[in-house]
Amino acid sequence: MSTENATCSLTKADFVSNQAVKWCPGCGDYAILTAVQNALPRIGKNKEDIVFISGIGCSSRFPYYMSAYGFHTIHGRAAAIASGVKLANPELSVWEITGDGDALAIGGNHLIHLLRRNIDLNILLFNNKIYGLTKGQFSPTTEIGSVTKSSPHGTIEEAFLPGALALGARATFFARISDANPKVMADVFVSAEMHKGTSLVEILQNCVIFNDGVHDLISSKETRDDNQLFLEHGKPMLYGKLKNKGIRLNGLKLEAVVIGENGITEKDILVHNAKDPDPALHFLLVRMSLPELPVAMGVIRNVETNTYDSLMQDQLNLAKSKNKYKNLNEFFHSGDVWEIK
């Protein structure tokens, strides 16, 4: 994928802070941090034009570990504060760092409205399907039946699918990646920044303490070739170690097929169109799950449309052009005025 912007002279080292990183040894957050630090020199922004906003959770320590501007906010409110930062200074590259609990439980309402407004900022959603910071309670993405500290007999709630939720909120950019592939992560982060509008990247992140191995079937080296479909715009939906498996549309459902069996050829395989304004196929892709289908990875949706911040600026400019007062001083001294001496 082409992800390069005007490259500046910064390097990864310029974004490494002097703070000790205090995640558990082996946590997937380390790989995400490295991928972000590798991606930022490629987006063509100066350090003073980049800001990280986080809520509460293990992921939300992120701003401390970046040598850039940042704000560690309160539980579930990162989306609201990131929106304000971007609207106050549209020239900034704004990154919201959040977890599945922070974004989808207490912060769920803020998240869906940020997505529907399409404010030009990036959301990195660390999804380990558990509350890690508070020691292993089930989260909104924990699979039904899972035994956790707060569900000793198994959860009885259906899990959110972040991709389906995002598309339902009219998201213009959604990607899914794994913390096990730092290079791909960095490429997707650059693609998210290049997108004009709200970019949501779901990262399948491993919590080694409270939910170790939750994504292994999808992301481990032994199984990922057959269990994940890495999507690239304009390319056929092929997967497997030999790239001999693919996805085709059978009626209103997606179907996994093998090229060469039952007369199947590559012409039968769907070609990925991330830029299709109609989200119907994107909905099917984000809902793919094991064991019947591989899990869709990469940039699933990337559609350009008007952004909230640009439309708001247009309205401000229009209001200014029609206002006979050019500043507050002119307004205060218009009409009946008097001086107190």
Predicted confidence (pLDDT) at residue 14 exceeds the cutoff of 80: yes
Task: Flag whether 340 is in a domain.
Answer: no
**88 in any annotated domain:** yes
Q: Are residues 97 and 222 in the same domain?
A: yes
Q: Which residues pair with 257 in a beta bridge?
A: 246
Give pLDDT tens digits for 51-70: 999 999 999 999 999 999 99
Within-domain flag for 332: no
Torsion of CA 300, 304, 310, 312, to 10 degrees: -80
Within this chain, do residues 256 and 168 fall inside the same structural domain, yes or no? Answer: no
Question: 14 near 163, Cβ under 8 Å?
Answer: no
In a domain, 28, yes or no: yes
Q: Is residue 176 part of a domain?
A: yes
> For the chain, what is the domain count?
2
- Residue 196, pLDDT above cutoff 70: yes
Give yes or no for residue 1 having a pLDDT over 70: no
pLDDT above 60 (res 6)? no
- The 10s digit of each residue's pLDDT in 228-280 is 999 999 999 999 999 999 999 999 999 999 999 999 999 999 999 999 999 99
Cβ atoms of 164 and 176 closer than 8 Å: no
Quick one: CA torsion of 127, 132, 133, 134, rounded to 10 degrees? 130
Q: Is 8's pLDDT higher than 80?
A: no
Indicate if 303 and 267 belong to the same structural domain: no
Q: Are residues 72 and 162 in the same domain?
A: yes
Q: Nearest Cα to 238, choosing from 280, 266, 275?
A: 266
Q: Residue 148 forms beta bridges with which residues?
A: 151
Give a yes or no: residue 42 inside a domain: yes
pLDDT level of residue 215 (50, 70, 90 thresholds): very high
Q: What is the CATH number of the domain that holds 284?
A: 3.40.50.970
Same domain flag for 140 and 253:
no
Q: pLDDT of 76-135, one tens digit each?
A: 999 999 999 999 999 999 999 999 999 999 999 999 999 999 999 999 999 999 999 999
Residues 304 and 273: their CA atoms lie apart, in Å, by 13
What domain range includes position 265?
Answer: 237-271
- b/e per residue, 165-192, with b = 16+ CB within 10 A? bbbebebbbbbbbbbbbbebbbbbbbbb
Rounded to whole angstroms, the Cα distance separating 199 from 330 reads 41
Same domain, residue pair 164 and 133: yes
If asked whether residues 248 and 107 sit together in one domain, one would say no
Instruction: Specify the DSSP element, H or E, that contains 229.
Output: strand 228-231
DSSP 251-302: TTEEEEEETTSTT--GGGSPBP-TT-S--HHHHHHHT--TTTSPEEEEEEEE
Query: What's the pLDDT at 2?
Result: 47
Q: What is the pLDDT of residue 7?
A: 52
Residue 39 CB neighbours (<10 A): 22
Please give the pLDDT value at position 341. Answer: 78
Instruction: Note whether 242 and 228 are same-domain residues.
Output: no
Tens-digit pLDDT profile for residues 27-46: 999 999 999 999 999 999 99
Do 18 and 162 lie in a common domain? yes
Looking at the fold, whether 68 and 146 belong to one and the same domain comes out as yes
As a whole number, mean pLDDT of residues 194-198 equals 98
Establish if 319 belongs to a structural domain: no
Evaluate whether residue 224 is within a structural domain. yes
Chain segment 281-334, per-residue pLDDT in tens: 999 999 999 999 999 999 999 999 999 999 999 999 998 889 888 888 888 888
For residues 134 and 242, state if they share a domain. Answer: no
Does residue 255 sit in the same domain as residue 277? no
